[in-house]
Amino acid sequence: MRKKSFDILAVGNAIIDVFSQCDDDFLDKHSVNKGGMTLIDAAQSAALYDAIAKIAPPKLVSGGSVANTAVGLVALGGSAAFVGRVHDDQLGTAFCKDISAAGVTFASTPASSGAPTASSIILVTPDAARSMNTFLGASIEFQPDDIKLAAAADAAVIYLEGYLFDAPAGPAIFAQAARMAAQHQAKIALSLSDPWCVDRHRDALMKFVTDHVDILFANEDEATSLVQSDHSTSVKKLRAVVDELIVTRGALGAVICQADIEHDVAAMPQGPVVDTTGAGDLFAAGYLYGRTQGHDLRLSGDIASLLAGEVISHIGARPKTDLRRLIAPLIKG
């Protein structure tokens, strides 16, 4: 089989993170739920953006779960493309520019009609509390045809996020990805994303996992929700239907299974835990990098754990250290 240009094609929600600092008075004035995540509509998002822009230009960072994974994998030296729906607007342009600057190929065409680009306006107060105000916008208008054939044909792994199942066309997007993977000899990897997402789509997700998924990522709550059983039973049942199963367990590390092989991978925090945002995304980045570079399960799991340990040591879902240098002792060892 020829070498593919992309180690992964990440398919998921394209959400631009809009970071700004403010005080508690600003939160009160604009009815922001401090420390929480609130879904807002287009008008509320636009008004809040205008308000923070009057304080200082906000920092714009391309986000979304699998987008973070793609960026992490590229930072390790791998290659990745990303497919997600953005609008042809200011924030859509910012998303494309930022993810491209990170070395990820943006394999979508911004939409000229429909909802504005999805955003999460993240307001940080002096006490380091993060208040997220999320507008799902164009991301929930994602369509199967948004997945470009050329990118799918040139990927070793097509990586999906469970959150996509909440989009109206979510099941059709998953089906399209599975067809493309089968046609072009790519593997399907899936992150279950969220236990409540699993609750909403349990039967359909279980069928997709059983029929199409090669590599399954889940945290302990997501795995037990999918199987509706305890940890050990969920691992036993899920490892029987996928080639590779990765279940993360926070401070307890992770369990990685393939056929009759099972590895316990220790957590590798790189300092005090500051913010767990992006831990699962970067764990997946490390693991997929390891496997697409030909490393075994154990080493891939260690790389994954090290990346997760780095991202939880600071605020934000993007690494702040040189990841290639960080993993070098593992690779040499």
Question: Could you report the per-residue pLDDT of 178-232, keeping only the tens digit for each?
Answer: 999 999 999 999 999 888 889 999 999 999 999 999 999 999 999 999 999 999 9
Residues of the chain with pLDDT under 70: 1-2, 333
In one-letter notation, the amino acid at residue 327 is: I
Q: Which domains does the chain have, with CATH numbers?
A: 6-14+64-115+141-332 (3.40.1190.20)
User: Rounded to an integer, what distance in angstroms lies between the CA atom of residue 224 and that of residue 246?
Assistant: 13
| Residue whose token pair is 């304080």 | 55
User: Rounded to an integer, what distance in angstroms lies between the CA atom of residue 242 and that of residue 246?
Assistant: 10
pLDDT of residue 88: 97
Segment holding 273, helix H or strand E: none
CA angle 126, 63, 196 (to 5 degrees): 90
Taking alpha carbons only, the member of 234, 237, 73, 247 closest to residue 159 is: 73
Quote the tokens at residue 299: 């080493």
Segment holding 242, helix H or strand E: none
pLDDT of residue 62: 93
Taking alpha carbons only, the member of 59, 51, 30 closest to residue 316 is: 59
Q: How far is CA 196 from the centre of its chain?
A: 16
pLDDT of residue 277: 79
pLDDT of residue 1: 43
